[in-house]
Amino acid sequence: MELKGKCVLLGITGGIAAYKMAGVASALKKQGADVEVIMTRNATQFITPITFETLTGHKCMVDTFDRDFKFEVTHIELAKKADVILVAPATANVIAKMAHGIADDMLTTTVLAAGCPKLVAPAMNTGMLENPITQDNIRTLERYGFTVIPSESGLLACHDVGKGRLPADEVLLDYIHRALAPKDLAGLRVTVTAGPTQEAIDPVRCLTNHSTGKMGYAVARAAALRGAQVTLIHGPTALAPVRFAEDVPVVSAQEMYQAVTGRFADTDILVMAAAVADYRPASVASDKVKKGEGEMSIPLVRTADILGTIGPQKTHQFLCGFSMETRDMVAHSAEKLRKKNLDMIVANNLKDPGAGFGVDTNLVTFLTPDGGVRQLPLMSKEAVAGAILDEILARRG
């Protein structure tokens, strides 16, 4: 997601994980955000303000009474300017101060003054984290509306193995993106399917296709960031699970059929981006099939058509299908839209450069029952996902 026009304020406190925030600041800048950084005095023992000044192009604030600044009352100006604040790593000390309204340095005064969404990522030694005092303070922050990003387990800098590690950059970035995204899908239950299916021939072989799941995962991620309650039902893929979404892995078309139909009554929007197999072997050999001389053929039978089955039964659900073609794309896709009683179909031609399986871009056309045919320019799959959700929202009214 583009962060152009958004101001992200990073509050960095005195833990060894402070050095990791250079990567987060850099990634945010690359995504177009205006990044401001406030460090506590202790944080500057671990990484210098110059690192963040170079990365962000702004003065990195440390002292409340620094006279070398451009604002009138800096902590108030930054509190007003920020669209989101992330305090990471957050030490037990700063968590305690924020939980009790103590404002004795630049960071804590700014946090207290700010009205924007506030994210806190605790990172410390396991004993300090699990201390009931810290746990109480974390709960207090949550009660006051802070979002606390759970710390991870692993080898800590103090050589202990346990909970207290700062999550990876991508996790922190996902929380920032969610905090900044419009919540126009809040209250909606969105089911997305993605990836290929695998139809077993025997214990070692299967029939499948080249889908990587990227398009469906992008839709699930965008919907989750925009506040929907998302279930991602996916065939075997190499992609990391989508944060903030329920993950339902399946293998075969039949398993996907059961997963989708079982949730259909509780779904408001279904986006079927999966490349579901249309055929499966008539029977699955229980042992590995040995090769012989000459040709071999495998009898195939049709799988259940998931959209074809639920389309005619829909009540309140909005159904968005996908259609991948190599020729006559619009005509074939319009026919699928009609036959499966869909509200929208997203068509793409595998032969178009930049479209289809595996790539990070897509060139799609939206077809709707009113005869609408709208081709979008070549865009990232992330941007296509946003456009699909915009279209669905507009059509649902």
Catalytic residues: 158
Our finding on whether 191 is near ligand CTP (CB under 6 A) is no
Judge whether 228 and 185 are in contact, CB under 8 Å: yes
Judge whether 125 and 156 are in contact, CB under 8 Å: yes
Please report how close the Cβ of residue 159 comes to ligand CTP at its closest, in angstroms.
50
Our finding on whether 305 is near ligand CTP (CB under 6 A) is yes
Mask for 234-263, x = binds ligand CTP (CB under 6 A): -------------------x----------
SS3 state of residue 8: strand
Our finding on whether 221 is near ligand CTP (CB under 6 A) is no
Nearest CA among 202, 294, 305 for reference residue 253: 305
Contact region for ligand CTP (CB under 6 A) — 181-189, 262-270, 274-282, 383-391? 274-282
Judge whether 270 and 318 are in contact, CB under 8 Å: yes
SS3 state of residue 275: strand
State which of residues 13, 93, 323, 362 lies at the interface with ligand CTP (CB under 6 A). 323
* Minimum CB distance to ligand CTP smaller for 98 or for 274: 274
Our finding on whether 264 is near ligand CTP (CB under 6 A) is no
Our finding on whether 311 is near ligand CTP (CB under 6 A) is no
What per-residue string of b and e applies to 211-239 under the rule 16 or more CB within 10 Å gives b? bbbbbbbbbbbbbbbbbbbbbbbbbebee
* Minimum CB distance to ligand CTP smaller for 149 or for 219: 219
* Minimum CB distance to ligand CTP smaller for 180 or for 307: 307
For 248, phi and psi rounded to 5 degrees? -125, 95
* Minimum CB distance to ligand CTP smaller for 79 or for 310: 310
Judge whether 335 and 368 are in contact, CB under 8 Å: no
Mask for 332-361, x = binds ligand CTP (CB under 6 A): ----x-------------------------
State which of residues 39, 274, 355, 389 lies at the interface with ligand CTP (CB under 6 A). 274
Please report how close the Cβ of residue 305 comes to ligand CTP at its closest, in angstroms.
4
Cβ-based neighbours of 240, under 8 Å, separated by 6 or more? none
Our finding on whether 321 is near ligand CTP (CB under 6 A) is yes
Longest alpha-carbon distance in the chain: 87
Which one-letter amino acid corresponds to residue 215? M
Our finding on whether 272 is near ligand CTP (CB under 6 A) is yes
> Cβ of 343: how many Cβ atoms within 10 Å?
20
Strand runs labelled E in 34-80 = 34-39
SS3 state of residue 217: helix
Please report how close the Cβ of residue 240 comes to ligand CTP at its closest, in angstroms.
22
Residues in touch with ligand CTP (CB under 6 A): 253, 272, 274, 276, 278, 303, 305-307, 321-324, 336
